[in-house]
Structure 1
Amino acid sequence: MTHTLPPAEASARLHEFTVIDVRTPAEYASGHLPGAQNIPLNRVRSALPSLREAARDGEILIVCASGPRAQNACELLAAEGIRTATLTGGTTAWAAQGHPLHRPAACATRSVWTMERQVRFTAGTLVLLGLLLAALVHPALQLLSAAIAGGLVYSALTDTCGMASLLGRLPHNR
């Protein structure tokens, strides 16, 4: 079973939770809840033994940037019988309400793009590339742009993102 907590309640009860941040390591390094452990969404399944152990010690709070990845992780953990909570609005809402984010000193000097920003950049680049190739090489290459558009629509309808999964595997996101 999963429930959501608003940032103010989560902040007051933070000491009661094992906090798991399911964003990419780069996103996590750009700022995370104090005491949070980083287990990217694509590694949650392999971390089940340690998560079961953490669940015995108390409740697990799953966080991401805005909520969808945390909800996906909670559904996976619920299927394994692990009780979890999510943070309403994710780290974005947490920071917007003035709660502290831990930022390692090494990351304070460099800019880290969120996964959402990486997806928007990649999708836009591929659409432009498809249109450019269609104009310069062959009109059929505009199918690349159509495929990206279809992927974005599918992503919105299912609240999943295949492109984010692929980008999450890149070295700078590990």
Structure 2
Amino acid sequence: MTLPTITPDEAHRLITDGARLVDIRSADEHARARIPGAENRPINALGRVGDAPAVVYHCRSGMRTGANAALLAAASDCPAYLLEGGLDAWRAAGLPVADNSKAPLEIMRQVQITAGALVVIGVVLGLVVQPAFLGLSAFVGAGLLFAGSTGWCGMAKLLAMMPWNRRVAT
């Protein structure tokens, strides 16, 4: 089942009239940037959504809400809509967004930065110092392959334990 998409202006009107706004992104993404008044209900722990005349779901770009439309529709006890273009479109429409630049980057962005840096370091050291350093790049690549295949990312688990990620600011 698909849910109808609505523009940021239409969503704003619905929210003003009492609709609930539900952000399905992870807590770390929500802490970094959010629409004021949005409830953070990550897609993997959504539960039932009701007690409102309507519900508007959003993510960052609209891709996650679109991909999970059937799940979102099943979780809704009232008319439900998807925010077309997500938080990015909301921001582009000039509607308010609460940004917290002091919140840590999302874990997956940290993984991408760390993995990319380790691959580059491994290649540079392999070319300049000792070819055995190319093994670092291979190790990181194998880890990413494993994470993509299994859904378990050791680097993300390790980064989540770092001091800057221990307290998610809201």
Both proteins in one fold, TM over 0.5:
yes
Task: Quote the RMSD (CA, aligned, Å).
Answer: 3.8
- Counting only pairs closer than 5 Å after superposition, residues 6-85 of structure 1 correspond to structure 2 as 6-15=7-16, 16-44=18-46, 48-49=47-48, 51=49, 54=50, 57-79=52-74, 84-85=80-81
SS of corresponding position for 2:37: coil
TM-score, with structure 1 as normaliser: 0.63
Q: Cα gap change, 1:102/1:134 in structure 2, threshold over 3 Å: closer, same or farther? A: same
Aligned length: 154
Q: Cα gap change, 1:23/1:149 in structure 2, threshold over 3 Å: closer, same or farther? A: same
Larger radius of gyration: 2
**1 CA distance for matches of 2:71 and 2:104?**
28
1:98 counterpart = 2:94: yes
**2 CA distance for matches of 1:90 and 1:34?**
14
**1 CA distance for matches of 2:98 and 2:136?**
45
Letter of the 1:27 counterpart:
E
**Residue 74 of structure 1 contacts residue 85 of structure 1 at CA under 8 Å; is this kept in 2?**
no
SS of corresponding position for 1:2: coil
SS of corresponding position for 1:57: coil
The runs of 5 or more residues in structure 1 that have no matched partner are 156-160
1:128 counterpart = 2:123: no
SS of corresponding position for 1:118: helix
TM-score, with structure 2 as normaliser: 0.65
Give the drift of 1:101.
1.6
**Identity over the aligned pairs, expressed in percent?**
28
